[in-house]
Every structure is written in structure tokens, then in C-alpha cells.
Structure 1
């Protein structure tokens, strides 16, 4: 099971650097991991594919009165507070609406508010996951290489090693993304040839 320290040690191992026993130790490796781990994780969650383990949906809390704001040109009927763990919006939907693209509604983000014309509103989004035990093994591998790319210059001063780590980060991220997509549930509307023949 992955932990923050084990992911940091994977990244350090990619660079041939010494491993750490805890992020609180006084080593340069631990200080660098403390500096870059959180930002690297956030960037991969926010800019990567919609990782299944980070997907979430919640009914938004409506904000009323002067605190609500009105978005651009005051064109929106409702304002909502954004979740504190929001990394990236996937879609805004009605509670009982379809999950297809046709079931998504327009919205505007402004500061810590989301403006829309529907109420109630369910936000489907990518959330920040701090617990590495929730990560898939391939996500851990991709994260470790992205972290290695960030650690390379502070720890090794070797631009070539940084570039090599970044290339591996892109390759492992692509593999993790493909595996994540392959684990998506099959389309419920799909009818196999076998079922079609039986129903004829």
C-alpha cells in the first residue's frame, strides 16, 4: 500500500538519491520532497485525465444575499459555494439528470463561487485526494516520476536527468490514463450479438 514517504522514495530512487525514513527528517531529500510533493500531486490531479479514484459529486450549497455575487453581467440566477477539495470541474447537472453530455448545464466560475441557472445543482468534479492508499498503482508510478522530474534539479543539478525523468513521467501518465479509461463500466445501452439473436 502506497504512502507519501514510499512515493517520495520511489521518486528519489528514480534519481539515484538516498531514501528517506520520514518527511520530518532534516535531510535535503526530505526537505525537497516536502517542498514539491503536494504541488506535484495537485498538478497531476488537476491537469491529468479524470482519474476514477478522484471523481466525486455533491449537491452544491446555494449562497444568497450580497455574498452571492452575480457572475458576469449578472446573468445567472443562482450562486453556489465551491467545495473546498475542488481540483477541476467535470460537469454541472440536475440531481436526477442524465449523465450524458446532454445532461450538463452551463456555469461560470468566479472566485470561490459557481454561478448557474439551475437549482438544485449537482457538481461532478475531481477532488483533492490526500490519502495515497486510494491511488492506483499506475497513478503512483506516474506521480513518482513527475515528482522525480521536480526533484532532479534541486538534488542532482542535472538537467539531462530532469528531462529523462519528465519523459518517463509523460509515458507513465499515459499508461495510467489508458488503464483508468479501460476500467470504465461498459455502456449500459450496449446489446451484444448474442443477446440480439436471442431476442429475435
Structure 2
């Protein structure tokens, strides 16, 4: 890779790294696995940078790589193994005060979704992509995105308790 291409790649990654990690975390629900997914994405991006940088929508292309890496990892048998738990030296915190209870309930419900629905919901509502951009990133039809999104949101609503579902609807509606 030429020096100017290397600089462009570095600037692109520096500007989007935290968003990529957040998306990967929302997909897999584990910070360490998210690191692995982002690393695999950035490696593939580096190798293909000349092609990717010429693409019409670089962000959609990178989102597509990220989701494909996540889906590929999910197919591997070892990805179902969970190692460790909370470290013994972890300091206790007031979960209610930090909003951890609500976040944990949402992440648990999100993890229960099938991988296709989870990918659509994360890209649409956590990454704020349009239906068309989500379809482009996942390389599927707009209708598929709409149906997967509808099913995913219905499953999330059903998984949350009535009080949490009312809170989520109220915050979405602005009430």
C-alpha cells in the first residue's frame, strides 16, 4: 500500500473505530469478541482498501464486512464457549443508579434474537442506518430488512417486561 493510501486508511479507521466496536459489541454482546470482530474487519479492510476506498459508500461497505465477520464467527463451534465471569476483585456498583439494569435487559433480549434480526436491529436503531443502507450493508433486499426489523422489534417488545417496554416506547416517542 502506498503512503497516501495508508494515511487515508489510518484516518478512516481512527474516525470510525469506536462506532465499529460499539456495533460489534451490540451484535455479539461481549467486549472481547467485539474486539476480535473489529480486528478481523480492519484486517480485511486493510487488504481491500484500494477497492473499498473507490466504493460509492465506504461506510456501508465496512458495515457489510463487520456483519459478515460476526456471522462467520457465529458459525464456528468454539464461538459458543464462554470463558470466565466477573473477576473476584471487581468493585460492586449500584446497578440501578447507572442504568445497568435496563441496559442488561435490553442486551439480554437482543442476544436472544436470531442473528439476522439482531444484525438488522443493531444497524437500523443503534447505528442509525436507513432501511436502504442496512439492506446494502447486509446485501439483502429492502423488504427483507423491513420484515426482519419488524420481527426483531416484536421479539424485543415481548422479551421486555411491561414496565420496561413502556419506558422504551415512551423514550422513543419523546414522552
Same fold (TM over 0.5): no
Q: Which protein is bigger by CA-based radius of gyration? A: 1
User: Which has the larger share of helix?
Assistant: 2
| TM-score (normalizing by structure 1) | 0.28
TM-score (norm 2): 0.31
Higher share in strand: 1
